Amino acid sequence: MAKEPESLAQRAGRMSQPGVVRGGRLRLRTLIMIRWVAAAGQTVTVMAVEFGLDYPLPLSICLAVIATLVLSNLVLTQRGVGRARLNDRAGGVILGFDVLQLAALLYVTGGLQNPFAILIIAPVMVSATILSRTATIALTVLALVSISLLAIFRTPLPWSPGVLELPTVYVLGIWTALAVASVFISSYVWSVSEEARRMSEALAATHSSLLRQQRMSALGGLVAAAAHELGSPLATIAVVAKELSRDVPRNSPIAEDVELLLSQSERCREILAGLARTPEASGPEPFDRLPLRQLLESAAEPYQFGGIDMEFCTHPSVEGDEPVVARSPEILGGLGSLIQNAVQFAVRKVTVTSYWDGDTVLISVRDDGHGFPPSVLSAIGEPFISTRSNDGEHMGLGIFIAHTLLERVGAKLTFRNRNGAEVVIRWPRFILDRGTDADGA
């Protein structure tokens, strides 16, 4: 395996990046509806001032500016079919256009002397509620630039009779009020909305974790039932295999197959016994803590068969000694399931690589197979989703069990394709060093 030029910290940051970009929170349909309301409100206001209050307005110019908003909304309605949500960039561009459109309408109707100038911060408020901090800051700056230009450049405020010119000090006060409102209200609204988003994401994560635990408990019941039901037929297979091993001559062509059948039936018996064994009944075991390299070799030992080469690599850091890890069922079972999955789909080789420093422990399990299909890469870890095969032979439970077991002991898993399939397991160093049980971790 080639030496890695990058540091462990860089590798940890790269491996912890999610493979799926989270979608935007701004619904296109909602934004289109808001813009229709804005266009209708602008039209009604202009008509009421022109014909109801009999104030002179550049009506054709005002209607042309409003028409740009209507046309842009028609384009969004036509091209936005099938796009349920907008990302930050698209949402920011649309709201930025709204700021400029409203600034143009205010320019021909008195600038900051127009009482409706307060509406220029409305797109900023929408951004602060839904979009990211970067988009909100950009829109706030655009709004500040717009109101600054409107304070200097504007047509006279429509008035009858004559022309109304407000004092410069008053216009400066309006500019100050709008600037402070844009910055303060957008900051406040964004902070409150971000806290609500974090709470919502935390609740969603908690719900997902509880659902995963419920599935794991249900799966445990199925495992116990399967172990009970398989006990009798497996015992019969073992008896028949022993009888065959005594009756078949040593030089028989099927002697080797009989020995393999006998060994595999014994292994199945051990697996079922392990499933039925409870931690309380098993008692203390020798070597309950092992160095990381030996732990990985112990987890991989049952799966070193079928002509697949198993390579173990270590890339320690000078910042910390090799971790000594508890031989917990969660860690051994989770790592064993991932290694078994890699062996099943490898062509020639499976590479198990470990990294560590004073803060982080990383384990990479990589095979040289065809990798994870892109269609299921985002859903890996859910039960009954097969990661490699569509032929019905693989139910996808192995990855689900490994994912759940390792998350219970504080690990974070990343699935990706890198010249084959790769699973990266990442722990904070202190979790493995303190050797707590699953609940404590």
Overall CATH class of domain 289-434: alpha beta
Q: Which residues of 323-336 are buried (b: 16+ CB within 10 A; e: fewer)?
A: bebbbbbbbbbbbb
Q: What is the pLDDT of residue 372?
A: 83
Binning pLDDT at 50, 70 and 90, where does residue 247 land? confident
Give the confidence band of 341 by pLDDT, cuts at 50, 70, 90.
Answer: confident
The pLDDT assigned to 71 comes to 93
Instruction: Record the tokens describing residue 200, joined without a space.
Output: 């919502």
Residue 144 has pLDDT above 90, yes or no: yes
Instruction: Identify the CA nearest to 183 among candidates 134, 121, 131.
Output: 121
Closest by CA position to 336, among listed 370, 364, 298: 298
pLDDT band, residue 268 (cuts 50/70/90): confident
7-21, 87-101, 153-167, range with greatest mean pLDDT: 87-101
pTM: 0.49
**How many other β-carbons are positioned within 10 Å of the β-carbon of residue 109?**
25
pLDDT value of position 68: 93
> What's the pLDDT at 23?
42
Give the model's confidence band at 212: pLDDT under 50 very low, under 70 low, under 90 confident, else very high.
low
Q: What is the pLDDT of residue 439?
A: 42
Q: Please tell me the distance from the alpha carbon of residue 433 to that of residue 391, in angstroms, as a whole number.
A: 42
pLDDT of residue 140: 92
Question: 3-state SS of the chain?
Answer: CCCCCCCHHHHHHHHCCCCCCCCCCEEHHHHHHHHHHHHHHHHHHHHHHHHHCCCCCCHHHHHHHHHHHHHHHHHHHHHCCCCCEECHHHHHHHHHHHHHHHHHHHHCCCHHHCHHHHHHHHHHHHHHHHCCHHHHHHHHHHHHHHHHHHHHCCCCECCCCCCECCCHHHHHHHHHHHHHHHHHHHHHHHHHHHHHHHHHHHHHHHHHHHHHHHHHHHHHHHHHHHHHHHHHHHHHHHHHHHHHHHHCCCCCCCHHHHHHHHHHHHHHHHHHHHHHCCHHHHCCCCCCEEEHHHHHHHHHHHHCCCCCEEEEEEEECCCCCCCEEECCHHHHHHHHHHHHHHHHHCCCEEEEEEEECCCEEEEEEEECCCCCCHHHHCCCCCCCCCCCCCCCCCCCHHHHHHHHHHHHCCCEEEEEECCCEEEEEEEEHHHHHHCCCCCCC
The class that CATH gives domain 210-277 is mainly alpha
Q: What is the mean pLDDT of residues 14-22?
A: 38
In terms of pLDDT, which residue wins out, 82 or 219? Answer: 219
Rg (CA), the chain: 33
**What torsion do the CA atoms of 243, 249, 250, 254 make, to the nearest 10 degrees?**
-80
Tokens of 322: 């090799």
CA torsion sign, 266 to 272 to 275 to 281? negative
Amino acid code (one letter) for 11:
R
- Confidence band of 438 (pLDDT split at 50, 70, 90): very low
Identify the top-confidence range among 66-80, 82-96, 299-313: 66-80
Cα 167 to Cα 113, 214, 398, distances in angstroms: 10, 69, 75
Does the structure show a pLDDT above 70 at 43? yes
**The pLDDT of residue 211 is above 90:** no
- Tell me what pLDDT residue 100 has: 93
pLDDT at 327: 79
* CA gap 414, 407 in Å, rounded: 12
pLDDT band at 363 (very low <50, low <70, confident <90, very high): very high
Cα 187 from Cα 131, distance rounded (Å): 12
Rounded mean pLDDT, 138-156: 90
Q: Which of 94-103, 268-277, 325-334 has the highest mean pLDDT?
A: 94-103
Could you identify the residue written with the tokens 């990211």?
132
pLDDT at 357 over 70: yes
pLDDT for 380: 73
Alpha-carbon torsion 47, 50, 52, 55, what sign?
positive
Distance of CA 436 to the CA centre of its chain: 28
**Residues near 403 by beta carbon (within 8 Å), at least 6 away in sequence:** 334, 380, 381, 413
Domain coordinates in residue numbering, the chain: 23-208, 210-277, 289-434
Least confident window among 56-70, 237-251, 278-292: 278-292
End-to-end alpha-carbon separation of the chain, Å? 33
Residue 282 has pLDDT above 90, yes or no: no
Tokens of 358: 């004073």
Q: Residue for token digits 């709470």?
A: 199
Give the count of alpha carbons within 13 A of 325, CB side only. Answer: 31
